[in-house]
């Protein structure tokens, strides 16, 4: 398991640094919901990136309990995707988001925080 460092995107731009992924990575968000995960799949097969839900259901007025599924995104071979932002249901009590990868060979990622515009 690896811990990802969030990089800050500002109006001046960001030259994101991508790191090799582990089968499971964690992103320490500090409770911040203004971040996204950028995944690059340099491998020869599609992978799934799964963000497990820490809250399995939500009580919605007028609808009752609604299940909250894990967030699964396919990233094709040689493709890249921006994933997020993530609702509170995908962060644990200390604000950490867990990311599971179905394969790790030739896969890199970067966690990017969106800066507030002054």
What is the pTM for the complete model shown? 0.90
- Mean pLDDT value across residues 96-106: 96
Confidence at residue 118, expressed as pLDDT on a 0 to 100 scale: 64
Q: What is the largest CA-CA distance in the chain?
A: 46
Confidence at residue 100, expressed as pLDDT on a 0 to 100 scale: 98
Lowest mean pLDDT among 23-27, 28-32, 53-57, 76-80: 28-32
pLDDT in tens, 34-86: 889 999 999 999 999 999 999 888 888 898 899 999 999 999 999 999 999 88
pLDDT band at 20 (very low <50, low <70, confident <90, very high): very high
Please count the CA atoms within 13 angstroms of the CA of 85 that sit on its side-chain side: 13
Give the C-alpha separation, 51 to 100, whole Å.
6
- DSSP 8-state code for residue 88: G
Confidence at residue 58, expressed as pLDDT on a 0 to 100 scale: 85
- Average pLDDT taken over every residue of the chain: 92
The architecture CATH gives domain 2-114: Sandwich (2.60)
Token pair recorded at residue 17: 């640094």
């Amino acid at each position: 398991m690896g811990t990802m460092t969030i990089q800050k995107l500002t109006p001046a731009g960001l030259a994101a640094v991508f790191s090799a992924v582990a089968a499971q990575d964690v992103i320490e968000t500090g409770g911040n919901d203004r971040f996204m995960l950028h995944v690059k799949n340099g491998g020869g097969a599609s992978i799934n990136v799964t963000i497990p839900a820490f809250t399995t259901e939500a009580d919605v007025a007028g609808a009752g309990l609604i299940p909250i599924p894990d967030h699964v995104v396919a990233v094709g071979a040689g493709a890249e995707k921006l994933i997020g932002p993530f609702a509170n249901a995908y962060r644990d009590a200390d604000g950490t988001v867990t990311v599971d990868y179905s394969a790790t060979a030739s896969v890199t990622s970067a966690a990017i925080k969106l800066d507030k515009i002054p």
